[in-house]
Structure 1
């Protein structure tokens, strides 16, 4: 592991100030302290999540909590910004005006890592693709380190697995905002749809943050069917396209028809039937194509990658088949916290769908969900803070029931569905109106449907 020295400016006494003491901020403190840098940390929260850990394990680190300490910031050679902290905060804007470098955890990782890196972003599907590529590496006998926005922070991975031959990272737009030195062997942008517009001025700014993953990549893996992603391709960079549209000559990796069946193909060669992929939905077949393209770019053998896909059962709360009850398939897609994710889940189902949706809509339009439910839906049950907005979007295409909460939604969905249907929790909304996070929402759904009588 290489550790890059920070240049010293005479009137500054700190190499770095870490802003935000969440999981990523803690990883930054550990990394910088281990390298012998003079470090301080500040957080707007009086009770920052990992402040006690820093006090106990790194007493040499100055802590300032309950507001961003500008005295500390002014003394920093570099400001290391945690992904949950908005760079538009006034103290940080003033630091930028002073031309102080503002960097990210992933920038620190990029400066130190020597092994190849595979990097994945997108509005939806990035966790699934990251884990797919990780499973492919394992099937190939490659002891890759997998994490980033999913699981362990990148810097903790680097410390835990310093000899890892490959790093596979899920990266959010927030993590990419202040990253300049990352040079992945392959970087993927899976899709782009409205999200985090409380953090970005518009979709162009959000897309620009996502596109930063491609800077310095040996190979860009891009979704040819997404116009916003397609526009990210650079003439001087090798681009590998994937597509779910048969016959698209631009795509090396595509879903094609073989004897009436959908197959995952490379340059026209059938690799496996979509039906052999354990994960339900066409969107997961598209995720598998992206994973195959990334694994291929990293040098993983096709046979091992296909074997991994055949055994890949997915991640909790992401298109997870929970149980068969009363002839219905109950699917937990609680991680679908935006409309595009819900649209992908509904559109990917082969059977009629009774959709359970609702929560905190974050100002999104549900119009895209209307067409998806018109094609695939039997009924919808909506709940939570913005249930009325979801109901309004769907009322003209399917029967809609409005209920108070998830418990009532499960009961009503059972009544509206028929044997052979999919009952799909894919809320299209954040969960914080009624739950601590999407995981708690998904776990409650699991408990409710597992408790249904199988009669």
Structure 2
């Protein structure tokens, strides 16, 4: 495929949300007037930047095949399901489709690090950026984490490297991204509303390794291991057990240490983020920055000062020795399992779980073994009843306020109440952030009146 955008006569941007707006802005900065399509009559981009829409050729509402077939190149936003019949017809007609990440790959001239996985992506992305800044570099942290990467190409600010969080949807449509270091943190059942089966989801994730110089993978999750070893490709593995090579965890008396090449590197108790899942996240970040020439012993010093991201095992309140934890970002079973397993050892009292929402077709039965570590289970939302059926004595409620009130009555000093839904939020909330904020508000309201 030609990589000079000016060589295409008609470029179409499919989707006019956050990513689509960044694509249109980038194209217009190059003097290109794109066609913009969105199935919504009033997509978010209209409110976000109406001037961009006015300067483009826009068609909002049900997709029309003729608009797609007139395109020489279609830039697809990650929220668009390409299995839609009208899009499939454009694919069958040979219209090339790319993601915003592929456009970025055509022009980037500094090192790039990429992070994907079912859970922990945002934490590792931000932590990697934090370490790089602590070591004197000036990274741009972008991608699926919030700032679309093309927005960095339309500013005058310069960066010496990029750290990208990449979703499976973005990875589906990349071919040219050459990463200095790449990781798949873990793979658990997710997004089965967008994929025909789990293998299709896994194949999309593995595209991150296509041209990576260094592959950082989780030895506790064989699905993350590179499927093929290319000439010149290096690998670093990380995991929760002792390891002679790569990163591991060793125990000495009552203390645990992250190791590098079988030598103690960091006291786990000193880490700014807690839980075994975060120990693995730290190891992954240390491995990634090694791909940019920063040795683990140096990188380890840069971890201090990092703070947990909102809605990811975040302590939001503590009353009477009871800790309330917002893990609303746990939108699939794997994320909830990681949180429960990572936090259980830190809870001397009862561990009370609030879970439920829209499971997006995921197999919730995988939660049953870990629910044995839960003392009280409270469920809500569209698939709450399915989770409740996995543990005898579970309490089903209708609202977060009701869940918080019931949870508070089960607590005593040393207890923890954990919101880790194992489901998406869209059945009850606009997104996981709103769910987390409503949880915090419910906790504050309860203690204000009790």
The residue number in structure 1 matching 2:271 is: 277
The residue number in structure 2 matching 1:208 is: 203
Shift of residue 272, structure 1, vs aligned partner: 1.3
The residue number in structure 1 matching 2:239 is: 243
Residues 220 and 233 in structure 1, CA contact (< 8 A), matched pair in contact too: no
**1:328 and 2:325 are equivalent in the alignment:** no
Residues 259 and 266 in structure 2, CA contact (< 8 A), matched pair in contact too: yes
Change (3 A) 1:235 1:53: closer
Shift of residue 227, structure 1, vs aligned partner: 2.0
TM-score under structure 2 length normalisation: 0.93
Residues 404 and 446 in structure 2, CA contact (< 8 A), matched pair in contact too: no
In the alignment, the residues of structure 2 paired with residue 166 and residue 8 of structure 1 have an alpha-carbon distance, to the nearest angstrom, of 28
- Of the three residues 342, 347, 356, the one matched with 1:348 is 342
Residues 242 and 289 in structure 1, CA contact (< 8 A), matched pair in contact too: yes
In the alignment, the residues of structure 2 paired with residue 88 and residue 443 of structure 1 have an alpha-carbon distance, to the nearest angstrom, of 34
Deviates more, 1:119-128 or 1:75-84: 75-84
In the alignment, the residues of structure 2 paired with residue 6 and residue 357 of structure 1 have an alpha-carbon distance, to the nearest angstrom, of 46
**1:31 and 2:26 are equivalent in the alignment:** yes
Residues 22 and 150 in structure 2, CA contact (< 8 A), matched pair in contact too: yes
In the alignment, the residues of structure 1 paired with residue 123 and residue 189 of structure 2 have an alpha-carbon distance, to the nearest angstrom, of 19
**1:291 and 2:285 are equivalent in the alignment:** yes
Q: CA RMSD in A?
A: 2.0
Secondary structure at the counterpart of residue 303 of structure 2 = helix
Shift of residue 53, structure 1, vs aligned partner: 5.5
The residue number in structure 2 matching 1:102 is: 97
Deviates more, 1:170-179 or 1:294-303: 294-303
The residue number in structure 2 matching 1:361 is: 359
Shift of residue 186, structure 1, vs aligned partner: 0.3
Shift of residue 163, structure 1, vs aligned partner: 2.1
**1:5 and 2:4 are equivalent in the alignment:** yes
Post-superposition Cα deviations, 1:220-251, rounded to whole Å, max 9, x if no partner, equal 111111121125353543221111122x34x5
In the alignment, the residues of structure 2 paired with residue 54 and residue 131 of structure 1 have an alpha-carbon distance, to the nearest angstrom, of 27
Residues 7 and 77 in structure 1, CA contact (< 8 A), matched pair in contact too: no
In the alignment, the residues of structure 1 paired with residue 391 and residue 303 of structure 2 have an alpha-carbon distance, to the nearest angstrom, of 35
Secondary structure at the counterpart of residue 239 of structure 1 = strand
The residue number in structure 2 matching 1:125 is: 120
In the alignment, the residues of structure 1 paired with residue 228 and residue 306 of structure 2 have an alpha-carbon distance, to the nearest angstrom, of 30
In the alignment, the residues of structure 1 paired with residue 367 and residue 54 of structure 2 have an alpha-carbon distance, to the nearest angstrom, of 52
Change (3 A) 1:383 1:6: closer
Shift of residue 299, structure 1, vs aligned partner: 2.1
Q: Which stretches in structure 1 are left out of the alignment for 5+ residues?
A: none
**1:378 and 2:375 are equivalent in the alignment:** yes
The residue number in structure 2 matching 1:448 is: 442
Change (3 A) 1:55 1:74: farther
The residue number in structure 2 matching 1:147 is: 142
In the alignment, the residues of structure 2 paired with residue 27 and residue 76 of structure 1 have an alpha-carbon distance, to the nearest angstrom, of 19
Alignment length (residue pairs): 443
Shift of residue 98, structure 1, vs aligned partner: 1.7
The residue number in structure 2 matching 1:392 is: 389
Shift of residue 309, structure 1, vs aligned partner: 2.4
The residue number in structure 2 matching 1:115 is: 110
Shift of residue 310, structure 1, vs aligned partner: 2.6
Secondary structure at the counterpart of residue 290 of structure 2 = helix
Shift of residue 139, structure 1, vs aligned partner: 0.8
In the alignment, the residues of structure 2 paired with residue 68 and residue 98 of structure 1 have an alpha-carbon distance, to the nearest angstrom, of 16
**1:75 and 2:75 are equivalent in the alignment:** no
Q: Which stretches in structure 2 are left out of the alignment for 5+ residues?
A: none
The residue number in structure 2 matching 1:180 is: 175
In the alignment, the residues of structure 2 paired with residue 432 and residue 57 of structure 1 have an alpha-carbon distance, to the nearest angstrom, of 28
- Of the three residues 415, 430, 435, the one matched with 1:421 is 415
Secondary structure at the counterpart of residue 309 of structure 1 = coil
Shift of residue 157, structure 1, vs aligned partner: 2.0
Post-superposition Cα deviations, 1:2-57, rounded to whole Å, max 9, x if no partner, equal x9524747xxx41x111111111111111112122342111111111113566523
Change (3 A) 1:58 1:441: closer
In the alignment, the residues of structure 1 paired with residue 64 and residue 385 of structure 2 have an alpha-carbon distance, to the nearest angstrom, of 43
Shift of residue 215, structure 1, vs aligned partner: 0.8
